[in-house]
Structure 1
C-alpha cells in the first residue's frame, strides 16, 4: 500500500507556554482531518490534512492577526509555544514508527538576493519542522521544474508536476512545500486468488463492477448505531500503523457519515472501543489520485486571511518585515490499496507573493461508499479520504 501527499504554498510580497500531550494533539489533528475531508468533492478522493497542517503551522509562527488567530484555531492549538512543542514531539514520534516506510520532508525556497527568513522563523523552520532551506531565482523558467523534481524524489516519483511554471514570477518571495510518503504491507495480506470483480453500489440505483478482495481473519471491529456504521481496523507490519475503514450501513449513507465526523464525532475515541474478532472482510482494490485547491477549501474551514493581499498579517516570515499573502495553495495526493497493503503520497505547496457494539463473526462488506483513514500508533491521521467507486 502506498500513500503520497504534497502541499505547495508560494508567497508573494505586497501568551504562556503550553504543552499538549500526544493524545490531545492526535485528537486535534483528527478533528482537522474530518472537517478537511468533509469539504472535498463528492467523488473518490485521497488527502493528507496532516501535510497541510505542517505548512499552516509554519505560517502561524510567521504571522500576526488576522491570520495568526485563524491558523491557531484551525489547528486546534492555543498559542505559538503549543505549535512548537506539539510538532517537535510529533515529528520525533513519526520517525520511530516500526514496520512501514514513512518519509516526511519540508522545504522552504527563498528568492535569491537580499531576502531571507527572519531569524526566529528560520530557527523554527529548522528545529521544529526539520525543513531544508534553499535560495532560488523564481523568475528563472526552470524554477518550478526544480521544485517538482524535489517533490518527486521525496514521494518515490508518485507526485509529479505539483507546480506549473506560471505559479512563480518576479513577485514570488517564498515557496513552502511539504512532502509525505507512506508504504506499508498488511499484517494479514489478502490472497489475490480471492480477488474478483463484484458489484459496487455507486448509489441506490447504480452499480459498477470493481475488483473486490476477500479475507477472513481476526481484526479490530466495532459498530456504532449512533452513526449507523461499522468500523474495521487493519494493521500494517509492525502493528504501529493501521487503516480504519468506516462503512455506513445505508448505501447512500456516506455523506451523512462525513457530516457526523466533521461535527465532532470522536473517531480517535472510537478506536478504543473496537474488539478483536474474526471478520469476513470484502473491500475494493483501488487507486486514487487527487488534486485539491486549498485556496478554495481552507476558507470554508475558517482560514481566509492568509489569502488577503491587503491585510493577511503574514509579516514575520522575512527578515525585512515585508507583508506577504498566499497566492496559491495546492495539494496533490495518491493512494493505492491492494492485496499486499497500501502506498500513499501527498504534497502540499504554498506560494507567497507581494501584497496587493461488536458482533460475533461479523461480515464487513464494503460494496458501497466508505471513508478511510491511515492512523499512526499515536492515533494521528496521516491520510484520509472517501472511496465512492472508480472516478
Structure 2
C-alpha cells in the first residue's frame, strides 16, 4: 500500500501537468465559460492505456505524463477507492468503456479495469444507434442519480464506431462556512474593462486561505467544503481584462501545489453564484494534446485489450461535468483565536492588512481540489459570464 500511495502522489503530479495542457487547448477554442473534470478524464484514459501497446502506449505515457501503464493502474487503485465515498459530499462519477460487439475483452485487461479503476467494459452494438444511445444514457443517469441526462445522441454512433469512452461527473457539497444569504445582492460582473452584466453576488467575512501571486498577476483564494479534504480555489486576475494573460501564465504552474504558500487573514469575500454544465467531445482536443494515434484506425494498437486481431481504435471520448456554487454551508464552530493567522504550508507570504477584500467581479479561473492522497483536480474551468 505504501508503494501504491506513492504512485497515487505521482498520478497527482501527472494529472496536474495533463490538466494544464488540456486547459490551455480548451481555453484556446472556447471564449466562454469552461468546466471539465481532469480526474475523471485522466482516469478513463488511464484505463484504456492498460490495453495500449507499442507507439500507442508511448503516446499515452507522453500525454498523460505517466511513465507506464502499471504506475497509472496502481495509482488509481488508491485514488478511485478514495473518490468512491467522500463524507459530506455528493460526488457522482460515471466512467466506463463501451466496446463494439465482436471484440472479446482479454481477462487481464478486464481484471485491471475492475479491480484498480472500479469500472468495467461493456459490449454494445453501435450499429443499432438508438439502442446504444439509450443504454449509455440510462447507465449514466443511474450512476449520477438522474443529475446528468441524455449524455449522448444516436447520431454519435454508426457502423464504424468501435470504442467509446464515457465520463460524466456531478458535484454538490456544503461549504464549511456558509455565505450569508441575506447579504447576497445584485451587482455588476465586468466582462471586460467597460461591459458588465448583473449577477447575484454572495458575501461573507472570515479568515480564508489567500495569497497574492505576483508572477501570475492574480489573487488566489481557497474556500473549504464541509469535508476538509475538498476545497474550491479561485484564481482572480488583478485586472478586469486579465484572464487571457493569466491563462498563459498558468501553463507553467504546478496546479497541485498552488495552495502550498498561503496565509489566512480576515477577508471579505464577494463571489458570484453560478451553475455550469458542459458536454465536451474531446477528440479534437486530445488529438492536439498528442493522442491523435488512438483515434487512427490504421495506427492505434490496443492488442492488450481484446482477443480479436481486428484493429481497434477509439471512436469517441465524451465528458459532461456539472457544478453549482451557492451560499449553503455547514458552518462548524469558528477557528479558535489562538489558531488565527497560523502559517499553513510554506512560508508566510504577506503581512496581514486591516481590511482585505477578494471581489470576484470579473472573469476568473476556478479549481475544485481533493487532497486525501495528493492533490487531485476534480474540476477546473473559468467563469467568463456567471449568467450563462
User: What is the TM-score when the length of structure 2 is the normalising length?
Assistant: 0.86
Whether the 8 Å contact between 1:19 and 1:82 is mirrored in structure 2 is no
Unaligned runs of 5+ in 2: 331-348
Q: CA deviation at 1:386?
A: 0.1
Which residue of 165, 170, 174 corresponds with 1:181?
170
Spell out the pairing of 1:1-391 with structure 2 (5 A cutoff). 20-40=6-26, 41-95=30-84, 97-112=86-101, 114-140=102-128, 141-262=130-251, 264-340=252-328, 357-358=349-350, 359-360=352-353, 361-377=355-371, 378-389=374-385, 390-391=387-388
Q: CA deviation at 1:99?
A: 2.4
- My pick for the range that moved more, 136-145 or 205-214, is 136-145
Distance 1:323 1:315, change over 3 A: farther
Q: CA deviation at 1:218?
A: 1.4
Whether the 8 Å contact between 1:30 and 1:267 is mirrored in structure 2 is yes
Whether the 8 Å contact between 2:221 and 2:234 is mirrored in structure 1 is yes
- Output one character per residue of 1:285-315: Cα deviation in whole Å (capped at 9) or x when no partner: 0111222221111122122111112112233
Partner of 2:341: none
- My pick for the range that moved more, 366-375 or 83-92, is 83-92
User: What is the TM-score when the length of structure 1 is the normalising length?
Assistant: 0.86
Q: CA deviation at 1:267?
A: 2.8
Secondary structure of the 1:23 match is: helix
Q: CA deviation at 1:96?
A: 5.1
Secondary structure of the 2:92 match is: strand
Secondary structure of the 1:340 match is: coil
- Within 2, Cα distance between the matches of 1:137 and 1:34? 36
Q: CA deviation at 1:341?
A: 5.9
Structure with bigger helix share is 2
Distance 1:27 1:185, change over 3 A: same
- Within 2, Cα distance between the matches of 1:83 and 1:69? 13
Whether the 8 Å contact between 1:106 and 1:130 is mirrored in structure 2 is no
Unaligned runs of 5+ in 1: 1-16, 343-356
Q: CA deviation at 1:133?
A: 3.9
Ranked by relative contact order (alpha carbons within 8 Å, sequence separation 6 or more), the top structure is 1
- Within 1, Cα distance between the matches of 2:145 and 2:378? 17
Whether the 8 Å contact between 1:20 and 1:85 is mirrored in structure 2 is no
- Output one character per residue of 1:304-359: Cα deviation in whole Å (capped at 9) or x when no partner: 111112112233221113211122222222221111169xxxxxxxxxxxxxx344
- Output one character per residue of 1:257-290: Cα deviation in whole Å (capped at 9) or x when no partner: 112222x212322312111221100011011122
Secondary structure of the 1:103 match is: strand
- Within 2, Cα distance between the matches of 1:374 and 1:18? 24
Q: How many residues align?
A: 359
Q: CA deviation at 1:92?
A: 2.3
Whether the 8 Å contact between 2:226 and 2:329 is mirrored in structure 1 is no
Secondary structure of the 1:312 match is: coil
